Amino acid sequence: MKYTDLNEKSAIELAELLKEKKVLLFTVKQKLKTMQLTNSNEIREVRRDIARISTAISAQNK
């Protein structure tokens, strides 16, 4: 996911996307704890996506 893709979305869509990514992060962390996660970089990618979405939300609020 790129930041330029997020600029085109509305605040409501970004809030929904942020919620989905946070749930995904929770499930990925649970998979890591139960040793079901094969790609540990997935946590990193999800966290960065959350940061990008949060940045887009704060940019729209200004």
Q: What is the pLDDT of residue 3?
A: 86
Q: What is the pLDDT of residue 22?
A: 97
Alpha carbons 31 and 9: distance in angstroms, whole number: 30
Q: What are the structure tokens assigned to 37, written together?
A: 């996660």
- Low-confidence stretches of the chain (pLDDT < 50) are none
Write the CA distances from 27 to 12, 31, 43, 44, 57, integer angstroms.
Answer: 23, 6, 10, 13, 23
- Domains of the chain: total: 1
Q: What are the structure tokens assigned to 11, written together?
A: 């605040």
Structural domain boundaries enclosing 11? 3-61
Q: What is the pLDDT of residue 28?
A: 96
Q: What is the pLDDT of residue 1?
A: 79
CATH at residue 27? 1.10.287
Q: What is the pLDDT of residue 59?
A: 93
Q: What are the structure tokens assigned to 42, written together?
A: 């997935």
Q: What are the structure tokens assigned to 47, written together?
A: 């966290």
